[in-house]
């Protein structure tokens, strides 16, 4: 099987879990209860923990190893400032898209990285694809609920998520053809994403995980971070 076809298939499989998470949110019919609210808040926390792990173990370290301090600082702060401005703009228009934006900021750079490394280390590429898929499932669940609350129809969200799943193969092929041997450019993209994700976690995602007089939901963040940490150990 051609290497490019393998890359397309595994990154689409990793991306389609976004749609699976959205479908789970669309068709869940559990009655409103304290237990359900704890689960929802824990899922938000899990997604935040997984995103934080992606920054700590996958995105930022690559920039720290490759870039000069000035380029590292500029690309990291640029990501945070641009997504700060975008978040404020969307809030003024009455929409909340932080979960969705963070999901894209996580998925696309990791898919680019997968494509860039696949020819040199196929095993690492396969493990990274599995890791991306695990992350995307709760992020898709959370992003669906967020977009639904912003007034977007369920059917439209699912179509968007289906389209997002195809961004993975596109990004991976770009990484495969354009980023092999271009370590600095890859590192700038990943560091930029780190700044944007970190801003969104602390501005929007982490506050949504809090549930007054309930202390278990934040443990979801611990579990999400653990998944990211273990995934990094396996990849290494």
Phi-psi label, residue 152: left if phi above 0, alpha if psi -120 to 50, beta otherwise: beta
With bands split at pLDDT 50, 70 and 90, how would you rate the model's confidence at 170? very high
CA 90/CA 92 separation, integer angstroms: 5
User: Residue written as tokens 């549930």?
Assistant: 211
- Say which range, 40-44, 158-162, 170-174, 194-198, has the weakest mean pLDDT: 40-44
Greater pLDDT, 1 or 17: 17
**pLDDT at site 68:** 93
Query: Rounded to two decimals, what is the model's pTM?
Result: 0.77
Mean pLDDT score of the chain, rounded to an integer? 82
**pLDDT at site 159:** 95
**pLDDT at site 202:** 84
How much of the chain, in percent, has pLDDT values that exceed 90? 16
Is it the case that residue 186 has pLDDT exceeding 80? yes
Greater pLDDT, 231 or 60: 60
Is it the case that residue 134 has pLDDT exceeding 90? no
Nearest alpha-carbon partner for 161 in 148, 143, 176:
143
* Residues 55-112: tens digit of each pLDDT: 888 788 888 988 999 999 999 999 899 888 887 777 776 566 777 887 887 788 878 8
**pLDDT at site 69:** 92
What are 99's two structure tokens? 């979960």
**pLDDT at site 93:** 66
With bands split at pLDDT 50, 70 and 90, how would you rate the model's confidence at 20? very high
CA 164/CA 18 separation, integer angstroms: 8
Q: How large is the average pLDDT for residues 174-203?
A: 85
Is it the case that residue 231 has pLDDT exceeding 90? no
Question: Could you tell me how far CA 77 lies from the centroid of its own chain?
Answer: 19
**pLDDT at site 179:** 79
Query: Exposure string (b/e) for 191-212, b if CB count within 10 Å is 16 or more?
Result: bbbbbbbbbbbebbbbebbebe
* Residues 141-168: tens digit of each pLDDT: 888 888 888 888 888 999 999 999 999 8
């Amino acid at each position: 099987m051609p290497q490019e076809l393998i890359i397309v298939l595994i990154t689409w499989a990793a991306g389609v879990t976004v749609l699976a998470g959205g479908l789970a949110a669309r068709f869940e019919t559990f009655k409103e209860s304290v237990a359900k609210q704890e689960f929802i808040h824990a899922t938000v926390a899990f997604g935040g923990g997984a995103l934080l792990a992606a920054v700590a173990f996958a995105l930022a370290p690559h920039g720290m190893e490759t870039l000069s301090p000035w380029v590292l600082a500029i690309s990291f702060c640029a990501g945070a400032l641009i997504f700060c401005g975008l978040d404020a703009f969307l809030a003024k228009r009455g929409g909340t898209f932080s979960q969705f934006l963070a999901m894209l900021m996580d998925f696309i750079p990791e898919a680019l990285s997968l494509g860039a490394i696949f020819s040199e280390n196929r095993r690492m590429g396969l493990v990274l694809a599995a890791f991306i898929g695990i992350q995307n499932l709760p992020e898709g669940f959370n992003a669906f609920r967020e977009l639904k609350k912003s007034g977007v129809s369920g059917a439209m969200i699912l179509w968007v998520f289906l389209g997002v799943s195809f961004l993975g193969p596109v990004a991976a092929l770009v990484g495969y053809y354009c980023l092999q041997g271009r370590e600095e450019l890859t590192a700038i993209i990943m560091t930029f994403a780190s700044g944007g994700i970190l801003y969104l976690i602390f501005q929007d995602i982490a506050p949504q995980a809090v549930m007054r007089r309930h202390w278990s939901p934040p443990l979801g963040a611990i579990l999400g971070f653990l998944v990211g940490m273990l995934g990094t150990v396996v990849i290494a």
